[in-house]
Amino acid sequence: MRESQYSQIGIFDSGVGGLTVLKELYQQLPNESILYFADTARLPYGNRSPEEITQFVREILTWMADRGVKMVIMACNTSSALALETVQSEFHLPILGLILPGARAAVQKGRRIGVISTPATAASNAYLNAVKEIDPTAEVWQVGCPEFVPLIEQNRIRDPHTKKVATKYLEPLLARQIDTLIYGCTHYPHLEPLLQEILPSRVRLIDPAKYVVTAAEQELEILGLKSSRLPLPTRFCVSGSPEKFAQASRPWLGYVPVVEQVSLPAIAAPTISLETLE
């Protein structure tokens, strides 16, 4: 197992949202080499069905496993909510999701918890269930925000339309007098300056990216896989346009990355036999 200590950590998202997790990896685990995949050809994930999301995740994980990653972080709340448990049982490598680390952090900060997320994550009730499992007395309200990811991918964060949309999404949560807000999508920390203009200062903001990377560090230490030498440059891969991703990520990375376009393997979805159903 020590032989794979210096292998890459794989992280993936539908687009630039996962860069918030990448930033935390750089800060908390500076010696780790990273393979970043953005499934930009099929963005956004938030309006997809659970079956589609799970199949996309299988394809991404198969591609990453073929490249010898030692761990995968789902830098996508929608994938974490809809596919994590299924693929953890199908792949023989550590796979971490965002929901549980984010929920744990939220219940330590407040009692009236709001969640903004993609419609698919909201419909899954993943954060609601995770928070209630940790603390049944906590109150949780969720809002699906379908316009956020496209606006962020288009770098329209300072567009007046984006503030109008954000105000609309936050209104029902503010009416509930939330004291804590979970970013239920890794894209949303990019909106933090805008959200802080709308939210009262009492509302604590929870970015699950910070806490999933803390969990990743603990897992690497337990498995004896934490790197102790300087990392290789991060490898960026996409399923869509490399040029578009390179330009979209520039504001968050501070430079224009070298981006490769890759093709994911065609993976047949597991079939359920009649015997299994019986």
Q: Residues forming the annotated binding site?
A: 13-14, 45-46, 77-78, 186-187
Active site residue 237: no
Q: Residues forming the annotated binding site for substrate?
A: 13-14, 45-46, 77-78, 186-187
Based on the fold, state whether residues 158 and 242 are members of the same structural domain.
no
Based on the fold, state whether residues 145 and 243 are members of the same structural domain.
no
Q: What's the pLDDT tens digit per position in 71-96? A: 999 999 999 999 999 999 999 999 99
| Reduced DSSP (H G I as helix, E B as strand, rest coil) percent helix, strand, coil of the chain, to 5 | 50, 15, 35
Among 185, 208, 231, the domain boundary falls at 208
Under 8 Å between Cβ of 19 and 259: no
Based on the fold, state whether residues 119 and 56 are members of the same structural domain.
no
Q: Which of 105, 128, 130, 185 is catalytic?
A: 185
pLDDT of residue 271: 56
Cα 232 to Cα 229: distance, rounded to the nearest angstrom: 9
Residue 226 within a domain:
yes
Residue keyed to tokens 């609309």: 168
Q: What's the pLDDT tens digit per position in 221-277? A: 999 999 999 999 999 999 999 999 999 999 999 999 999 999 999 988 765 444 444
- Number of structural domains (the chain) is 2
| pLDDT score of 123 more than 50 | yes
**Whether the model pTM is above 0.95:** no
C-alpha 11 chain-centroid distance: 9
pLDDT of residue 117: 98
- The domain containing residue 234 runs over which residues? 2-97+210-263
CA distances from 144 to 78, 105, 120, 175, 225 (A): 11, 21, 8, 16, 37
Residue 38's closest CA among 247, 207, 233, 189?
247
Based on the fold, state whether residues 81 and 214 are members of the same structural domain.
yes
Alpha-helical segments (H) within the chain: 19-28, 50-66, 77-88, 99-109, 119-124, 126-134, 148-153, 160-175, 192-198, 208-223, 242-253, 274-277
Among 208, 227, 251, the domain boundary falls at 208
Based on the fold, state whether residues 53 and 183 are members of the same structural domain.
no
Residue 36's closest CA among 8, 6, 65?
8
CATH classification at residue 194 = 3.40.50.1860
Q: What's the pLDDT tens digit per position in 172-219? A: 999 999 999 999 999 999 999 999 999 999 999 999 999 999 999 999
Based on the fold, state whether residues 190 and 103 are members of the same structural domain.
yes
**DSSP secondary structure letter of residue 230:** P
Phi, psi dihedral angles at 41 (to 5 degrees):
-65, -20
Residue 32's closest CA among 52, 7, 14, 15?
7
Q: Which of 76, 120, 199, 213 is catalytic?
A: 76
pLDDT averaged over the chain?
A: 94
The two three-digit tokens of residue 174, written as one number: 């503010």
Overall size of the chain counted in residues = 278
Q: What's the pLDDT tens digit per position in 260-275? A: 999 999 988 765 444 4
Active site residue 76: yes
Among 193, 208, 223, the domain boundary falls at 208
Residue 159 within a domain:
yes
Based on the fold, state whether residues 123 and 199 are members of the same structural domain.
yes
C-alpha 158 chain-centroid distance: 23
